[in-house]
Copies of this chain bind each other. A is one copy, B any other.
Amino acid sequence: MEEQIISKAIIETYIKELISYLDVDVAIVGAGPSGLICAYYLASAGKKVAIFERHLKIGGGMPGGGMMFNRIVVQEEAREIMKEFGVRLKKYSEKLYTADAIETISAFTFKTIKAGAKIFNLISVEDVIIREKMITGVVLNWTAVDIAHLHVDPLGVKAKAVVDATGHDSEVCRIVERKLGEDFKVIGEKSMWAEKGESALTENTKEVYPGLFVCGMAANAVAGSHRMGAIFGGMLLSGKKAASLILGKL
């Protein structure tokens, strides 16, 4: 058991995957709940899916629950998805269920990877690749390079579809707005109104620019809809809808 053999095993198997994923069907940016759900359905349908996650941690805001109380709330209509992932629900009221936030996110992560999606964590998307007026990929760098203020260039990844699942900040859409500008605008999320935010989410989940789809909170942020509050049903349905829209296109 020599140390350099262990090193070799890790580097070789990782890089083989990385190189294989330089050309994918779908590049999903952000491994929060909606990005994972979207990846799960795409991978289950046989697509080659890479998720690029800026942090070491998977799960976006979900593992923190609400105000660090690590429980989440879902509605009746998301129950089926939760069941599909094997997450236990506790009935709270007529239409509301609570679940353990960490159980939920680890279930989503585990099953999404098992379905065939690959998660690259510690990697940030700092730009998109464009051909005429079509997004055709993402531009990656190690997140650590950015935090450490190192002057290091990024690398490009080709994708048939890109999904912005980065939450409130809708980071990919912000890049498109800043870099391409004239015909694309991020409006920004409005104040909290759980009911309206939830209902708008399905409608806002769409292709917002040729080749670029949004889901989860990023979808509401781009469209200027209301904030949803600490409830996750709509987000899961949004991830699922994004997957189905992409499957319809590819």
Q: Chain A: residues with CB nearer than 8 A to chain B? A: 1-15, 17-19, 22-23, 55-58, 60-61, 63-73, 75, 86, 88, 90, 92-93, 95-96, 98, 100, 102-103, 106-107, 109-110, 113-114, 118-122, 127-131, 137, 139-145, 147-148, 150-158, 175-176, 179-180, 188-195, 198, 226-227, 229-231
Asked if residues B1 and A69 are in contact (CB atoms below 8 Å), the reply is no
13 of the cross-chain contacts (CB-CB < 8 Å) are A3-B129, A6-B231, A7-B157, A11-B19, A13-B71, A17-B71, A55-B57, A57-B58, A67-B141, A68-B144, A129-B192, A155-B229, A180-B191
> In the bound complex, how far is the Cα of B71 from the Cα of A55, in angstroms?
16
What's the minimum C-beta distance from A25 to chain B, rounded to whole angstroms?
13
Question: Besides A10-B72, A61-B151, 11 other CB < 8 A contacts?
Answer: A3-B139, A5-B96, A6-B156, A6-B194, A6-B230, A9-B92, A10-B73, A11-B22, A14-B71, A66-B152, A70-B119
Given contacts A65-B152, A191-B127, contact A22 B4 (CB under 8 A): yes
Number of copies of this kind of chain in the complex: 8
Closest 10 CB pairs of A and B: A3-B156, A64-B152, A57-B57, A14-B69, A144-B144, A147-B148, A106-B109, A7-B155, A106-B110, A4-B22
- Report B-chain residues with C-beta under 8 Å of the C-beta of A69: 10-11, 14-15
Asked if residues A1 and B195 are in contact (CB atoms below 8 Å), the reply is yes
What's the minimum C-beta distance from A28 to chain B, rounded to whole angstroms?
14
- Report B-chain residues with C-beta under 8 Å of the C-beta of A72: 10
Given contacts A9-B98, A147-B147, contact A4 B156 (CB under 8 A): yes
Asked if residues B8 and A22 are in contact (CB atoms below 8 Å), the reply is yes
